[in-house]
Structure formats: C-alpha cells, structure tokens
Amino acid sequence: MSAQIIDGKMIAGRVRIGVAKEVEAFAAQFGGAVPGLATILVGDDPASAVYVNGKQKACCEVGMQAFNFPLPTDAPRAAVVELVERLNADAEVSGILLQLPLPAHLDGAELTGMVDARKDVDGLTPVSAGLLALGREGLRPCTPSGVMTLLEVAGATLEGAEAVVIGRSNLFGKPMAQLLLGANATVTICHSRTRDLAAVCRRADVLIAAVGRARMVKGDWVKPGATVIDVGMNRDESGLVGDVDFAAVSEVAAAITPVPGGVGPMTVAFLLRNTLQAARMQRGEAG
Ligand code: NAP
C-alpha cells in the first residue's frame, strides 16, 4: 500500500484564505476594525525571532494588525507582567502570544497564565485548558486544532475509532487527546513510561506522534490502513525529519503527513484563526 499524503501546506493555505475573507467581513461589520495580534518576544533567541517574524507576517497577509513587543533578555518579571496587563486591557489587541521559551529567570507557565483567557490565542492558559477539558467554548491550542482539520480533510473517521497519541505535553499531547475525545474517539495517551509502545500503536486507527525523536515510529508499529500524523520536528544530517519513519510507514498507512509540509504549516494558520475567533468573542459573538 502507498499512503495518501496529507498536504498540510495546501490545507493551511486554504485555512488562511478563509481567515482573510472573514477578516474582510469583520471589518465591514465593525466599521473598519480588524483583529490584532500582539507578540511578546523576550531576549534574542534567533529561532524565536524567526517564529515571531513569521507570525507577524502571516497576520499582515490576512489583513490583521500585528504588534510586536520585544523585551531585553534581562527584562525583569515585573516588566513582562506590566506588558501583559497593558495588552490585556488594550481594545485593539485581540490576541496575545508570549513566545516561549523565555530566558531562564522567567517562568513561562506562570507568565502565560496571566494572559486574559479571551485573548489566549495559544490556548495555553489554565482557563483555556479547563474550558477544553470541560468541552466548553474557548480558544484551543493551535497545533492540535490544526491536526483535527488535517484528519477531517483526510477523511479519517474519529467516532468510535482507536486514537493513540504519543506524547503528553501540555502544549500538544494533552489538548490533542481532549479534542479527539470530544470527537468521540477512544483515546490512549502514551509517554516515556508506556510499556510496549509498539503494541499500543498497532491498535490505532489514528496514530499521532509528538515526541521529538527522529523516525521513532517504525513501519511495523502501524496498523494497515491507519491514518498517521507526524507532529515531530527533529533536525538530523538529512535536514528536518519527523517522529515517524516516513518511507516505511507510508507503505502500511492509508494516509500520512510529511515533515516538512504536514502539521507545521497548520500551526500558524490556526494562530490566525484563533486571533479572529478571539476578536469575535470580545465583541460578544460566538467564535
Ligand atoms: P515535549 O514536551 O518534549 O514532550 C515529549 C513527549 O514525548 C513527552 O510526553 C515524553 O514523555 C514523550 N516521550 C519522550 N520519549 C519517549 C519515548 N521513548 N517513548 C514514548 N514517549 C516518549 O515535546 P512537545 O512540545 O509535545 O513536542 C513534541 C514534538 O513535536 C517535538 O519534536 C516538537 O518540535 C514538535 N512540535 C511541533 C509543532 C508544530 O507546529 N509542527 C508544535 C508542537 C510541537 P514523558 O512525558 O514521560 O517525558
């Protein structure tokens, strides 16, 4: 079998076009106002700067406002708190993104938690995580939301399906499992202490890997006909590779995401979608 390749780049492009159209409609409805995303970048980590620039550019491309607030590496906690509080109160700012990781003297989880949940476009505050766990309306983390769209476009059946998520991070694994549960899948979350990981993976109709170990998921870990989503981003001598052995698994799976060009582009697309949803919620509309 040769798997269908799930083209995340193309699907993310469609999401962005949809957001751009909705931004136009938003502006028409609200007297020219457009959603705005504020990014906070503390320090000069080159990778973080590239990510923030990409997010800013993507915002402008769909007609949203983008504001960046750089702070020096040695910015005291109080300066970050003051900025988050100011942005929480700023009506022009629909979404706030505190770029992680922060310098060692700052607590990323604590400071992220200060973002107003209605502006939490990363979906990482305790309030957003709680709303997701309760199945109530709120902003969902971008990467798992993007994966749900990839599964939908790939035609994967989730209701009653066995879904296995490898990885239990707050950023991805836990919210991914919640979203799958919300779609009526039977969900198993695996991690570094899981016994016989390969056997658990072989049960999966939908297998999602978010570990950070290059090509860990082998061809004989996958049930024939499964849908496989590779969230991993690892650098090795051949460049950017995922957590799945793509060549071997694509001979067994029905559908698979490539790395690059699979999950990655969906994350920024859903950041834009979340910023639009946040702007709507702040104007009293359902997201
Ligand atoms: P993380 O916080 O490091 O979590 C990794 C998870 O993998 C942990 O739950 C860990 O288990 C588990 N794990 C580690 N070794 C394992 C093993 N041998 N067997 C089974 N489970 C194992 O990472 P993350 O933030 O979730 O990210 C995971 C990967 O996804 C990374 O490559 C990251 O770059 C990528 N990612 C990509 C995007 C995107 O936009 N494409 C977004 C987010 C993440 P324990 O909990 O027991 O330690």
Q: Which pLDDT belongs to residue 46?
A: 94
Ligand 1 neighbour 53 (Cβ under 6 A): no
Which whole number is the average pLDDT over 104-125? 97
Which whole number is the average pLDDT over 94-98? 98
Ligand 1 neighbour 208 (Cβ under 6 A): no
Residue 66: pLDDT band by 50, 70, 90 thresholds? Answer: very high
pLDDT at 195 exceeding the cut of 90: yes
Q: Which pLDDT belongs to residue 16?
A: 98
- How far apart are alpha carbons 168 and 174 in whole angstroms? 5
What's the 191 CA to ligand 1 centre distance in angstroms? 9
Which whole number is the average pLDDT over 233-248? 95
- DSSP sequence for 225-286: T-EEEE---EEETTEEE-SB-HHHHTTT-SEE--SSSSSHHHHHHHHHHHHHHHHHHHTT--
Helix/strand/coil for 105: coil
pLDDT at 287 exceeding the cut of 70: no
Catalytic residue, candidates 56, 116, 119, 122 = 122
Which whole number is the average pLDDT over 275-280? 98
Ligand 1 neighbour 145 (Cβ under 6 A): no
The verdict on whether omega for the bond into residue 101 sits within 30 degrees of 0, i.e. cis, is yes
Ligand 1 neighbour 229 (Cβ under 6 A): no
Q: Is 122 labeled as catalytic in the residue annotation?
A: yes
Q: How many Å from the N-terminal Cα to the C-terminal Cα in the chain?
A: 40
Percent of all residues in the chain with a pLDDT value above 70, rounded to a whole number: 99
